Structure 1
Amino acid sequence: MVIPSLTPEQLEAARAAATAARRARAELKQKVRSGEVTLSGAIDLALQEEVLAHMKVADLLKSLPRVGEKRAADVMERLEISQNRRIRGLGRHQIAGLKEQFS
């Protein structure tokens, strides 16, 4: 697959969009970390906003207080969620399991 050549304006727009997306995801993780937003609320927000839906489930879980790499991996394995799954790719049973686990 050949990568299309972009004009400088298009490249700048793409960079700005990528930066805005990273900031939005970082802001959501910070709100979850501080307790301002629950995991359930974060998932609901992510399902409404496409930019947030691209966040990896493991990254969201690790932003919770007292959840590190090991616990996030254990929960995801128990709920049969792939380690590189993004929020938009979760099934309804997986979402329900996550919400129940961290409610």
Structure 2
Amino acid sequence: MPLPTLTDDDRNAARQKAIVTRQARSAVRAGLKEGTLTLPQVLERSDAVVGRMLVRQLLTALPGIGQVRAARLMTSLGIAEGRRVQGLGSAQRAGLLRECPGAA
């Protein structure tokens, strides 16, 4: 199956959409790091910006959680390495809220 042919306008529109999405995810991570957003607030959101974010990126944005602690937490809760926030089950979400410092 051949790839679709995109015009320059289509490519530019897709590029701009990707830039806006990356900036929105960056703002969520910054809000978590600064404390202006809490983990429950982020997990309640049902938009594509948060839903398509990797759980590891979300966890490492929290103060006090680095790469190693995020990996251990994900393993203990049965969360796969490539899991996105929208793919979390209710037990996994509850576990994250219970285990993460300052989540409440």
Normalised to the residue count of structure 1, the TM-score between the two structures is 0.93
* Structure 2 SS opposite 1:37: coil
1:12 corresponds to: 12
| Structure 1 residues 81-96: aligned runs within 5 Å | 81-96=79-94
Deviations 1:51-87 (A, max 9, x none): 2210000000000111000100010000000011000
1: CA distance, partners of 2:54 / 2:6: 28
8 Å CA contact retained: 1:57, 1:87: yes
| Structure 1 residues 1-103: aligned runs within 5 Å | 1-45=1-45, 48-102=46-100, 103=103
8 Å CA contact retained: 1:21, 1:52: no
1: CA distance, partners of 2:41 / 2:2: 40
* Structure 1 SS opposite 2:20: helix
2: CA distance, partners of 1:18 / 1:51: 11
- What 5-or-longer segments of structure 2 have no aligned partner? none
* Structure 1 SS opposite 2:29: helix
Matched residues, number? 101
Deviations 1:21-50 (A, max 9, x none): 1000000000000011111111112xx211
Normalised to the residue count of structure 2, the TM-score between the two structures is 0.92
Identity %: 37
2: CA distance, partners of 1:62 / 1:30: 11
